[in-house]
Chain A
Amino acid sequence: MVASAKLVSSPMQPFLQVVEISKMFPGVQALDAVNVDIFPGEVHCWIGENGAGKSTLVKILAGSMTPSSGQIRISDEIQDISSPHHAQQLGLSFIFQELSVVNGLSVADNILLGNELSRGPLVLPKASFVRAKELLMRIGFGSLDPNRKVGQLSTAEKQAVMVARALNIDAKVIFMDETTSTLDRDEVENLFSVIRTLKSEGRSIVFISHRLNEVEKIADRITIFKDGGIVGTYNSGELSINGMIRKMVGRDIEHTFPTKNRTFGKSVLEVKNISTAKISNVNLAFQSGKITGIAGLVGSGRTELMSALFGLDRLTAGSISMGGELQRFRNCRDAIRAGIGLVPEDRRGQGIIGLRSVEENISITWAIGKPLRSWKRDSVVLAKKFISGLSIKTPSMGKQVGQLSGGNQQKCVVARWLAVAPGILLLDEPTRGIDVGAKAEMYQIIDQLAREGMAVVIVSSDLPELLGLADEIAVMREGLFMGMLGGDSSEEEVMSLAMGEVK
């Protein structure tokens, strides 16, 4: 309450100050001494590529991560945000893309969750109803019935519930992390008028979005994140959309990539008009010896395209054919049999079996259906071959894979597929979370595979990497295939296509 008094008396005092915040993960500097000020009553947009550090900073402010160093000041007092509950008490409220609403409870119960109106142990339903209604009215959602179950609501309405919850606890700063990505145009307009209302009440909004036209429309100030640092904070109008893109991607290419004088062979896999629940009407062909990159923002359907190719998602339309032969994958075992391999996105969760040995992790797919007598001896030979062939650094092949470094874990996953010599290898974020040296090695391996005649498909959020490796780049946006660019395109070209900006 002292905070709000201060706020009124000196409006130019920032409410929230992020001072030299850094966050280290093993091997990765997620945030490097960033400074941001949030003033009362401003809409402050944070933009940047995937992995630039926005979400890490949000998590730190939300109390679900602790910074490695730096300070957070609220109304000029140093605060050590220890938990999400603490963040709430300090006046910070968060609305994420995955909304944290309880579907089984009513709108009113969700709005008042954790701050229930009660007399002793008894909840007061009538007072709750009135309170919820009043809060919803304030943000222009007066028509929403507080007694409805939240599970029945649209995404936009659920977001309204979250905003009302933030108002109920009198939040001073409301963070909206990618909240518009699941909304249609009218709903976005609606949200914007809610944001203007909140602003007029002196609350600040931190709005994080990949949709730069929205940013241009709503922002008072824009802060651009890049590689864990901040490029700068600009007043709205100072930057055009193209200017924003340039500042977001403008950096020096820091890795050396193999030269691209590969020769392409015959087409290995073709997809015609395929659709799944997450992607629609995608047409692509993959040639042996060629590295095809797939670019797009998180949630654009890149990983879902891989899932469809690997037989994980049911096709609702279209067909996949390999070497002219129509394929029907009921599951990923069918895809593997047909000669497709997948190095999945989440190495720890989907790629390795951390508790088991290097040898087991390499030979697991290869060993399926091998004869009882000889498989174990052969498996050891196989593991030896790949440990030296891919220079996997491990003290022994019996070592638990979980104890190796990220790069060496990833090499084991790649080796698993090389052991069965697939015609086409899908790599989803193959270099995520591995260090620079291992990345360079991974690039060499990928290049080598293509030269040996494999068709290679790479999904990566790291644009320079994609441009450095791929012979051509398919760009996805919102589940749709936006177009094919050459491997010599610029980052700006890819980004504009991925963000749907017309040049």
Chain B
Amino acid sequence: MKRTNMLSIVFRKLRSWGRVMRGNQLMASLFILFVLMLFFTMTSSRFLTWDNMQNVTRSTSSVVIVGSAVTLVMIARGLDLSVGSLLAASGVLAASIASHGTNLWLSYLAAIALGALFGALNGTLVVGFKVTPIIATLGTLNIARGMAYLVTPSAILVGLPSNWSDLGTGSFFQIPYPVIIAVVIALFFGWLLGRTVFGRHVYAIGGNEETARLSGVNIRKVIFLLYLMSGLATGIAAVVLTSRLGSGDPNIGVGFEFQVIVAVILGGTSLAGGEGRIAGTIVGALIVGFLGNGLNLIGVEPFWQYVAQGVALIAAVILDRFTRRERSEASVRREVNSKDNFDKTEDPKSIGNSASHQGEIS
């Protein structure tokens, strides 16, 4: 008896947090980010330095680039697990082309094209063959990883041209190029989502696919394009990342899809689809980035970072559940109340009491 009481108190607490989070998930994730940074600033003197900030944002940029595209995919109730392996495949492809002395830009283009190809493959599987997104992209995850190893059978590709790393390590007025690229791409997806008819269709499909279809939205085209863009963004991220690392490494990007999904969900994109913002994903990516970096700086073993990220994901999902439950209850209550008057509040209990109410309502 006591145990259920405790549990119900915990649930009620969680739900009241949910109520605070509702409507401003962005504020909630910003708050988490702030607390996190405050904590690491206090525990490590090396945390809040210009160098470290540059470092973290530079390494977070690929999560932001891919996360922006995946945000759209997840708003439309899809999922893309292939991004991590694709990052490796595209990166290795670019590096191997560049190592043969080809024009650098051509190798970048090849990486992006491979990304687009995989995106199109994912899109075709999901839209054309109606494979569940999680399975389709799990399949292409393995295919892409295999291809990465096939391109460079002998582990890491080095001996790249001297200007290879310019893009990944250079900066413009102290702002790293990767950060600039990430910002541009995030702005693009933010614009696409918030200002275009396409963006509305993404929300509509996530909110209610059947309604979207019956309203004349070409849902197959929209979903295909989303996976295509996710692949494209991954190609771009691969270029940025391999350029930064200075080598073509088929082992990169293991667990990258996980970081992306954590970032998107921490950023307030609903697992049930229909809701989410790019700004949230950026904050989510920064949380993931600063968490790893900070734990590193205070000397926590790297393996614990996996644990921390896992906990972060599960916590984000549980919060998502509670905000959602809160909302559906609220909207039902609202609907009952708004029958005649929006602001009239009514004791929900009295609705069940039909005998006394019957005259009023029917």
Contacts and interface: CB of A to CB of B under 8 A. Distances in A.
Nearest to A31: B354
A402 B331 contact: yes
Contacts of A182: none
Interface of B: 195-197, 200-201, 203-204, 207-208, 210-218, 274-275, 331-332, 334-336, 338-339, 342, 351-355, 357-358, 361-362
A22 B218 CA distance: 44
Contact of B352 (A24, A351, A375, A393): A24
Contacts of A393: 338, 342
A364 interface: yes
A23 B353 CA distance: 9
Interface stretch (A184-192, A289-297, A317-325, A366-374): A366-374
Interface in A47-68: 68
Contact of A405 (B195, B338, B358): B338
Contacts of B217: 364, 368
Contacts, number: 114
Interface in A346-379: 349-356, 360, 364-365, 367-370, 372, 375-376
A51 to B, nearest CB: 13
Nearest to B194: A376
A354 B212 CA distance: 12
10 contacts: A32-B358, A69-B352, A69-B355, A354-B208, A355-B203, A356-B203, A368-B197, A404-B338, A406-B335, A416-B215
A344 interface: yes
A408 B210 CA distance: 20
Given A24-B357, A26-B339, A68-B352, 10 more contacts: A22-B355, A69-B355, A310-B214, A350-B208, A353-B207, A364-B217, A369-B197, A403-B338, A408-B338, A436-B362
A375 B197 contact: yes
A435 interface: yes
A353 B274 contact: yes
B195 A69 contact: no
B338 to A, nearest CB: 5
Interface of A: 22-24, 26-29, 32-33, 68-69, 310, 312, 332-333, 336, 342, 344, 349-356, 360, 364-365, 367-370, 372, 375-376, 393, 395, 400, 402-406, 408, 416, 435-436
B213 A332 contact: yes
Nearest to A372: B196
A312 B362 CA distance: 36
A24 B346 CA distance: 15
Q: Which one of A29, A332, A403, A404 has the greatest number of beta carbons of chain B within 10 Å? A: A403
A292 to B, nearest CB: 20
B208 to A, nearest CB: 5
The 5 A-B pairs with the shortest beta carbon distances in the complex, nearest first, are: A353-B207, A336-B216, A26-B336, A24-B354, A22-B354
Contacts of B342: 393, 395
Given A360-B200, A368-B197, A368-B217, A403 B208 contact: no
Contacts of B200: 356, 360, 364, 367
Given A27-B361, A370-B197, A405-B338, A32 B208 contact: no
Given A372-B196, A376-B195, A393-B342, A29 B358 contact: yes
Q: Is the interface of B mostly helix, strand, loop or mixed?
A: helix
Contact of B197 (A351, A356, A367, A436): A367
Contacts of A365: 215-216
A360 B196 CA distance: 12
A312 B216 CA distance: 11
A95 to B, nearest CB: 29
A68 B197 contact: no
Contacts of A354: 207-208, 331
Contact of B335 (A22, A367, A404): A404
B98 to A, nearest CB: 37
Nearest to B352: A68
B209 to A, nearest CB: 9
Given A33-B355, A404-B338, A364 B208 contact: no
A369 B208 CA distance: 20
A145 B358 CA distance: 53
Given A68-B353, A375-B197, A26 B335 contact: yes
A244 to B, nearest CB: 25
Contacts of A368: 197, 216-217
A403 B204 contact: no
B336 A27 contact: yes
Nearest to A347: B211
A376 B199 CA distance: 12
A24 B351 contact: yes
Contacts of A404: 335, 338
A29 to B, nearest CB: 5
A435 B360 CA distance: 12
Contacts of B335: 26, 402-406
A178 B122 CA distance: 44
B331 A403 contact: yes
B63 to A, nearest CB: 26
Nearest to A28: B362
A26 B331 CA distance: 12
Contacts of A344: 211, 214
Contacts of B338: 393, 403-405, 408
A368 B204 CA distance: 12
A403 B210 contact: no
B302 to A, nearest CB: 39
A68 B354 contact: yes
B211 A332 contact: no
A350 B213 CA distance: 9
Q: Which one of A69, A350, A360, A375 has the greatest number of beta carbons of chain B within 10 Å? A: A350
A336 B336 CA distance: 33
Contact of A356 (B274, B336, B351, B355): B274
Contacts of A28: 362
Contacts of B203: 353, 355-356, 360
Given A355-B274, A364-B204, A27 B339 contact: yes
Contacts of B331: 354, 400, 402-403
A333 to B, nearest CB: 5
A69 B352 CA distance: 8
A255 B334 CA distance: 27
A354 B327 CA distance: 11
Contact of B211 (A32, A352, A436): A352
Given A27-B361, A68-B352, A69-B355, A355 B218 contact: no
Contact of A350 (B195, B204, B211, B353): B211
Contacts of A332: 213-214, 216
Contact of B215 (A355, A364, A400): A364
A352 B215 CA distance: 10
Contacts of A405: 335, 338-339
B214 A26 contact: no
Given A27-B361, A29-B358, A405-B335, A353 B212 contact: yes
Contacts of B210: 349-350
B274 to A, nearest CB: 4
